[in-house]
């Protein structure tokens, strides 16, 4: 379950200690000076989103001593990109990651993590802003997979893509404009698959940084799939290829 941290000093100390926090809620009428100003500064440095909410929302936590601020601690610690690379080395396999460019629905994130763990993905990379974090709802939707699959939370997805590419990892974005069928990608080597957020898909910057853009063939009138469904298709294609060998690129 999430842990709700209530009050200015408890939230400040949690930030100073490096406690994994996925969201801070601040009353709209709260003072932005003193301790709160330091909290906002630390949150900005750590890429932690801050929501400005009516006081009544904070009252719903059940604590009358919230002092206009609460923090939601992650259900599980995040890891770094270096940690993910270490996981791949420990497995003795070419790196294989799933990058999520702005998936906001906790149910989708949980479902993707569940499929990623089942299909042999080494880790999932999510962004810290305008995206779902590791909440209790995500943990529940993953059916416990969050306990086994490392999740890296980064401020900048495009910079993370560049970091992986410098490590010799190919990056393919799944996008309707892709000029290759996703099943033609050769993901038996070091690879990262990028899934866009609900509605908008891949951001333009992310699309430009990918080595490949691959499409999922569609025959119906609907032009796109749910993010977790699209992720499941490409992750299980990677699983199949690594079991049997397939694909044509790179």
Report pLDDT digits (tens) over 43-99.
Answer: 999 889 999 999 888 888 766 778 899 988 876 778 999 999 999 999 999 999 999
Q: State the residue for tokens 């880790």.
A: 123
What pLDDT is stored for residue 144 in this prediction? Answer: 77
Share of the chain above pLDDT 90, in %: 58
Most confident of the ranges 1-15, 143-157, 179-193? 179-193
Name the band, by pLDDT with cuts 50, 70 and 90, for residue 197. confident
Cα 133 versus chain centre, distance: 7
| 249, pLDDT greater than 60 | no
pLDDT at 247 over 70: no
What pLDDT was estimated at residue 2? 64
- The predicted-structure confidence for 123-163, as pLDDT tens digits, reads as follows 999 998 888 887 767 877 887 788 789 999 999 999 999 99
Residues ≥6 apart with Cβ < 8 Å to 152: 78, 79, 80, 81, 83, 84, 123, 124, 125, 126, 160
Q: Are strands 3-6 and 69-73 parallel, antiparallel or unpaired?
A: antiparallel
Q: Once rounded to an integer, what is the mean pLDDT over residues 211-220?
A: 90
Q: Where are the alpha helices (DSSP H) in 17-135?
A: 35-46, 55-59, 81-91, 106-118
Which tokens sit at 172? 């393919």
DSSP state of 79: B
Give the SS3 label for residue 73.
strand
Q: Which of 10-19, 57-66, 210-219 has the lowest mean pLDDT?
A: 57-66
Please give the C-alpha separations between residue 58 and each of 33, 39, 129, 243, in angstroms, as whole numbers: 19, 17, 21, 50
Nearest residue to 109 (alpha-carbon basis) of 58, 70, 160, 74: 74
All CATH 3.30.1330.30 domain ranges of the chain, comma separated, are 3-73
Q: Is the pTM of this model over 0.85?
A: no
Cβ burial of 89 (10 Å; 0-12, 13-18, 19+) is exposed
The answer regarding whether domain 81-244 maps to CATH 1.10.8.60 reads no
| Whole-angstrom distance, CA of residue 94 vs CA of residue 238 | 12
Topology (CATH) of 3-73? 60s Ribosomal Protein L30; Chain: A; (3.30.1330)
pLDDT at residue 29 tops 70: yes
The residues with which 171 forms a beta bridge, in sequence order, are 192
- pLDDT number for residue 110: 92
Strand pairing class (212-215; 3-6): unpaired
pLDDT over threshold 60, residue 188: yes
Q: What is the mean pLDDT of residues 177-206?
A: 92
Mean pLDDT of the chain: 89
What is the location of CATH 3.40.1280.10 in the chain?
81-244
């Amino acid at each position: 379950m999430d842990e709700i941290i209530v009050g200015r000093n408890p939230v400040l100390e949690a930030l100073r200690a490096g406690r994994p926090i996925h969201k801070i809620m601040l009353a709209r009428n709260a003072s932005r000076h003193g301790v709160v100003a330091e909290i906002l500064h630390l949150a900005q440095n750590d890429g932690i989103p801050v929501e400005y909410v009516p006081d009544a929302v904070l009252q719903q936590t059940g604590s009358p001593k919230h002092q206009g601020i609460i923090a939601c601690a992650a259900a599980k610690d995040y890891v770094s990109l270096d940690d993910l690379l270490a996981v791949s080395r420990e497995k003795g396999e070419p790196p294989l990651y799933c990058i999520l460019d702005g998936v906001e629905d906790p149910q989708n994130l949980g479902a993707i993590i569940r499929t990623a763990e089942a299909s042999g993905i080494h880790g999932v990379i999510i962004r810290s802003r305008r995206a779902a974090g590791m909440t209790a709802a995500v943990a529940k939707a993953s059916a416990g997979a969050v306990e086994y699959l490392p999740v890296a939370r980064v401020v900048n997805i495009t910079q993370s893509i560049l970091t992986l590419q410098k490590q010799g990892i190919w990056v393919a974005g799944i996008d309707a404009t892709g000029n290759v069928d996703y099943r033609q990608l050769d993901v038996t080597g070091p690879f990262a698959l990028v899934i866009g957020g609900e509605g908008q898909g891949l951001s333009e910057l992310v699309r430009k940084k990918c080595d490949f853009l691959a499409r999922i063939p569609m025959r119906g009138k609907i032009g796109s799939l749910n993010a977790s469904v699209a992720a499941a298709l490409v992750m299980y294609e990677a699983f199949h290829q690594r079991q049997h060998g397939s694909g044509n690129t790179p």
